[in-house]
Amino acid sequence: MTPVQQESTLQDSTRPDTAVRANAARDTWNVLKRELKPVVRDPFTLIFSLVQPLVFLGLFAPLLVGSSGQPVGETLQWFVPGVLVMIVLFGTGATGSNLQYEMMTGSHERTLVAPLARSSLLVGRALKEIVPIIVQALLIVLIAWPFGFSIDVPGLVVGLALLAVFGVGLGSLSYTLALKTKDREWLFWGVQQTLIFPLLILSGMLLPLDDAPGWMQTVATVNPINWVVQAERALFAGDFGAIEVLWGWVAALVLAALGLWAGIRAMRKSS
């Protein structure tokens, strides 16, 4: 090795390493901030997305009052928790379309070559869903409150946490579906719409399943959304010791773990 080469090698070895390396926690936080910026800049999208649950609350709840003969307050105690789960179901279940749009425009490919942990690209997006869920749920509760809906504050806090965990899991599965379908937007919406309405009906969030056919009740027992709905009703009633609360948390945690595992795996294989 010539003296010049030796000097060059020595300089390279003493030069500080300024390369940015992937760090899962830091990268997740950065992705989370990036995903929240459009929500902060345009908060009216959160309000606009409340149109559908408000329609159900304003038009469907009176039908339940008339058919059950119960006071409005009791009907709302049963119905509002289901509406909150509906917000998560429709909101986070469709978030994969945003990622699919990024893949179609090439934005997603540019993030893949950035010095970021691949897992953070999924986890950061999934955690972003917590903010809209909490804001929208609080607005629905406040709207229903003057009409006789009673608020148990500890139950509300735990119920919102349960909705957040459930939303992370469902959002992760939505992103996974987007990664799997990639440029086939029609396939994403086809699968999403095919699954979402049976899950909604078989969760008992709109109508009680007590008088449903036996096969529907059997399917409902293995529907995780059904247990989340029942847990929310128990929590909002302040009944923390109900077995439905335990099963609701089990369903939400399993769904979150499954969604994050599948989503991170799909993101790491993304190209």
SS3 track for 3-44: HHHHHHHHHHHHCCCCCCCCCHHHHHHHHHHHHHHHHHHCCH
Looking at residues 9-32, what average pLDDT do you find? 64
What is the pLDDT at residue 54?
84
* Selection from 143, 139, 149, 142 nearest residue 76 by Cα: 149
CA distance 110 to 72: 52
Query: Is 90 exceeded by the pLDDT of residue 251?
Result: yes
Query: Is 80 exceeded by the pLDDT of residue 39?
Result: no
Looking at residues 232-244, what average pLDDT do you find? 93
Q: Which two tokens stand for residue 92?
A: 């986070």
CA distance 134 to 92: 12
Q: What is the average pLDDT value for the chain, to the nearest integer? A: 84
What is the pLDDT at residue 245?
95
What is the pLDDT at residue 3?
52
**Helical H segments across 113-242, by residue range:** 118-128, 130-144, 153-181, 185-201, 214-221, 224-236
- How many CA atoms lie less than 13 Å away from 52 in the CB half-sphere? 12
pLDDT tens by residue, 43-53? 777 777 778 88
Looking at residues 72-96, what average pLDDT do you find? 88
pLDDT tens by residue, 132-185? 888 889 989 998 998 888 888 999 999 999 999 999 999 999 989 988 888 787
What is the pLDDT at residue 103?
82
End-to-end CA, the chain: 41
Largest CA distance in the chain: 96
